Amino acid sequence: MKLKKKVMQTQFVRVIYPIDGGRITLRAEENWDSNIEANSIRENGCVSEFQIETERPYFYFKPVLLRDGIAIWSRGENFLAVTTSSAPLEIHPHFREDAHCSVCELMPPLASSSGAQHRFRVFLPPGYYENTLKKYPVLYMHDGHNLFFKEEAFVGNTWRTDEVLNVLDKMNAIEEVIVVGIHPNDRMIEYTSPGYEDYDRFLVEMLKPFIDAKYRTLAGPSNTAVMGSSLGGVVSFYVGWQWSEVFGKIACLSSTFTTRTICCSACRPNPKEKLRFTSTAAGPATTTKLPAA
C-alpha cells in the first residue's frame, strides 16, 4: 500500500508590539519549551515576522518576550493559527497582568443637537494601554446601564458584557473590541419614532467622532457595529439603516418592532447593499447581508 505523502503547510505570523528591550519569539504546542525565532524584524523591533512550517491544519501558539534571560509569556489565552488560510496572521499581544477590562469609565455627558445630555461608559479591553500599536473595532450598545455593573442595571441584572467578551476572546471567536454603552434618558422616547431621529444624529455627529478622536479605533463601517435589545434592537435597526455608511453591522436582540417603533416605509426606498444585520428572538440568531431592493 502506497503511503500518502504528508503535505507541509506554511503559516506566516506577524507580531506587533512596542518593544523596549529584548526580543519577541513564539512558542507552539509541538514544543512549549522551544523558542521559534523571527525570520525578520522591522520597525525598530516592533514588528516580528515568523514563517512556520507544519503538517497540521491548525496549531496553538503564544508570543514570548525574552528580556534579560527571562521569558515573559503573553497574557490571555493561546492564539490559534489556521494553516489553510494564506493570509498572514497579525496579532498584538500584551505581557503585563491585566486579566479583565482595563477601563470601564463613566464619561462626562455629551449633548445632542437638541440639548439632551447623554451619559456613556467606555470599555477598553485588556492590554489597551500597553500595546499602543493596536487599533480596535467599536461596538456601540444601547441601554448602557445594563451592561456592566449590578448597581446600575435594571433590578440588578447585568448583561455581563465584559464576561461574555472574555469568553469569546478565549475561544478565538472575536477580535478584541472597544464597547461604548450609552445610558438612555427615556428609552420610550429615544428608542422609538420620532425620538430616535435626534438620538441617531447624536450617535453619528457627536459620540462617534468623540470616541474616534479619543481612542485608537478602526473607524470604518466594517469595524463599527451597533447593538441593542428590545427597544434597543429597534433603534439599532433604525440607526444602522439610516447610517449604513457609518455602521456596517447591526445586532437586534428580541426587538419589539411595532407601528410605533419603526416606520418601514423609510426603509423601502433606501436599499442597502453592504449592511450586515443580525436579529434574534426566541430561537437561534440569523445573520443576513441585506441585498438591494
When pLDDT is averaged across residues 263-284 and rounded to a whole number, the result is: 57
Check residue 233 and report its DSSP letter.
Answer: H
Report d(CA 287, CA 238) in Å as an integer.
Answer: 17
Find the domain containing 72 and state its range.
9-91
Q: In residues, how long is the chain? A: 293
Q: How far is CA 185 from the centre of its chain?
A: 26
Averaged pLDDT score across all residues of the chain = 84
Determine, yes or no, domain membership for 4. Answer: no
Report d(CA 87, CA 52) in Å as an integer.
Answer: 13
Question: What is the structure's pLDDT at 292?
Answer: 41
What percentage of the chain has pLDDT greater than the value 70?
Answer: 83
When pLDDT is averaged across residues 232-236 and rounded to a whole number, the result is: 86
Pair (35, 59) in one structural domain: yes
Strands (E), 153-210: 178-182
Determine, yes or no, domain membership for 199. Answer: yes
Structure-block grid coordinates of residue 228: 441593542
Split at pLDDT 50, 70, 90, the class of 203 is very high
What percentage of the chain has pLDDT greater than the value 90?
Answer: 47
Of 91, 119, 136, which residue is a domain's last?
Answer: 91
Pair (231, 131) in one structural domain: yes
Span 148-173, pLDDT tens digits: 877 777 777 787 888 888 888 777 77
Integer Rg of the chain from CA: 22
Nearest CA-CA partner of 133 in 46, 66, 204 = 46
Helix (H) or strand (E) segment spanning residue 196: helix 195-202
Determine, yes or no, domain membership for 234. Answer: yes
Pair (65, 186) in one structural domain: no
Determine, yes or no, domain membership for 98. Answer: no
* Chain position carrying cell 420610550: 188
Structure-block grid coordinates of residue 198: 435626534
Cβ-in-10-Å burial (0-12, 13-18, 19+) of 169 comes to middle
Is the pTM of the predicted complex or chain greater than 0.85? no
Q: How far apart are the first and last CA of the chain?
A: 58
Pair (79, 112) in one structural domain: no
Q: How far is CA 215 from CA 33, 188, 202, in A?
A: 37, 31, 18
Which CATH number goes with the domain that contains 225?
A: 3.40.50.1820
Question: What is the structure's pLDDT at 291?
Answer: 45
Q: Are 193 and 261 in contact (CB under 8 A)?
A: yes
